[in-house]
Structure 1
Amino acid sequence: MHTRFILVFLPALATGCKAVDCGDGTTERNGMCVPSSETVAPAGCGPGTMLQGDLCVPRLPPTRCDPQTTAPDVDSMGVTTCIGTSAGCSTKLPCPAPTDGTQTICGQIYSFETGEPFATASPSGAKCACPATSGPCALGIKAFDAVVFAMSNGTAGGLATGEVYIDDCGRYRVSNIVMPSGPLIALGFDDADPTKAGPMGITNAVGIATGKGVAATKDLDAFVVAPATTAGWVGAGVPFDASNGIFAAVFRGSRTGTELAAGVAITRNGSPDGNHDYYFASGATGRVTLDAAATQTGANGTGLFNITSPMLTDLYSGIGGLAAGCVWDQHPGASVRFVVFVQTFRPTNAPSMTCSL
């Protein structure tokens, strides 16, 4: 018994090799026992380091972007990325996250008819200085509480913003949008000239929406839809008037990027509705001429839906055109008179599965 007793405590005895053994709540520092909560003096940290707790850690200089060739893009974690500004339209706009509780939304404006960026004939990436009569520099952008805007049929819900930036590439940034009371922020795109609002100018009033609460929302697709295009749709039986808007669904084939998905039928609350949807010819890459016989998206990944209620209680999505493990995300939709509301849908994980797209 005596021998076993000594062996059990040998590990404890073996640890007593320090000159000073300090009790609980203290630590040895320079041969003395001091409270473990006591920190070292800042002067004890070497060059290029700083005190965090009782440890000296590297002190990194703040990121500085060359103002001649780059612009800072600060994310919600405070990480700064320098975005090139001298590459014309080939780079994305910086989309820094606000720190004052507002939201910034950035993206690219596209021609709905062609799917191509809505840019001037020879864009350089220059900021639009004055309203033009054509191209992206003829546009204005306003922010709205999407729920209030829909339920008021487009007459209320405006939100205050900071700078609204558009360049001749068709890139846009709406900064420091004040948070709405509802869950969604809508952006409205129309002619900057108020005498050409709605179908009187280069585009109909076009709306897009995104969730609030993301400090910087990047890569949100926006569109312009020419009045001649909607006139053709009306001729094919799509209601678009003082009582009806158009809900346009664009199905992207992956979580990011611009790939389009064919073979998708629009659903409302989980079910297709063949009495209110419209599609283009299967091989059509443009979005101008509707095909009365089509029942799902073709090469342009797009369908139109006649929503008959201004309420945002119905959820819209799609069925078909996806790999196993994937479903289309869901978004609320409403009809706002004389507004083409464009919603982009992307694949997401099916319940208890992982989507590879």
Structure 2
Amino acid sequence: MLNRNREEGHEHLYHDYFADNCVYEAKDFKRRFRLNRDVFLRIVNALESRYGFFQLGYDARGRRGFTTLQKCVAAVRLMAMGESPDTMDDYMRMSERIARESLYTLSRGVVETFGDVYLRKPSLHDLQELYAAHEERHGFPGMIGSIDCTHWKWKNCPVAWKGQYASGHHGSPSLLPIFDDLLNGKAPDAPFTVNGNEYKYGYYLTDGIYPQYSTFVKAFRHPVEERDKFFKRRQEGARKDVERAFRVLKAKWHIVEHAARPLDLETLRYIMYACIIMHNMVVEDKRAKYCTLYPNGAQTHSVSTGNSGLFASRC
């Protein structure tokens, strides 16, 4: 049996990033793991207190297992860099199996622990603020947001499912995160008023491939009149926000940029949601520090999206 000396791996990790006089500074930790050390330790403490997998244990021979820091650092590093679990062996002294289990367990734990706060559905107050923000920025009253697709290549898709999870313009199977309410054409019950007329539900901006729902507002495919051309330009310009959001998410968490390796959809769903939740935690941490430095220059309120979703083969 290979003796990896996991104790030495923990000592190197602790002295590199978590000791009082650690080798690497906080900015180095943030650059390599995509989140601040305080946010990371908050996740570590929450998972350690809730899940036995992240608690330190001993095997039948009395050997100490991997520590909480080792498992959480390995999982976050895999999400941040999109590397293979086998790359955790040389530095973390961790086998591919343990690294993979750490990734899957951390993803599920983050969703179950922080999902109610950072992946919640917007409240009525949140929607009113969204209405005001989008009307001020884009000129669309009653607009909740924009919808667009991002494909996540599925490397290990089962052979029997490849036809179901492949589309014409993608040569290999891929996944799309779609929320249940949007898939059913539902919108939150948040009224707004335009030109003296009150409407009960808000709407989303979409492109032409989505269904003909009353809550979806599409651009004109072939505008002729000048006002239709003007609306098309504004609608397409507003929809750039969601495209930029996907690029930011993929740039921060490379596991979403690279081909997905898990075999089951449930694990893929948790990984995607965990990336979104940790991204929201990073944004909240940045806003809190910004408001501390500039009390009159920022809003402390943040809005999260709904967390009821599934993966589908195409839009």
TM-score range, shorter chain: under 0.3
* Structure with bigger gyration radius: 1
Q: Which has the higher contact order (CA 8 A, sep 6+)?
A: 2
Compare the two structures and name the one with the higher helix fraction.
2
For normalisation by structure 1, the TM-score amounts to 0.22
Instruction: Report which of the two has the higher share of strand.
Output: 1
What TM-score does the superposition give when structure 2 sets the normalisation length?
A: 0.24
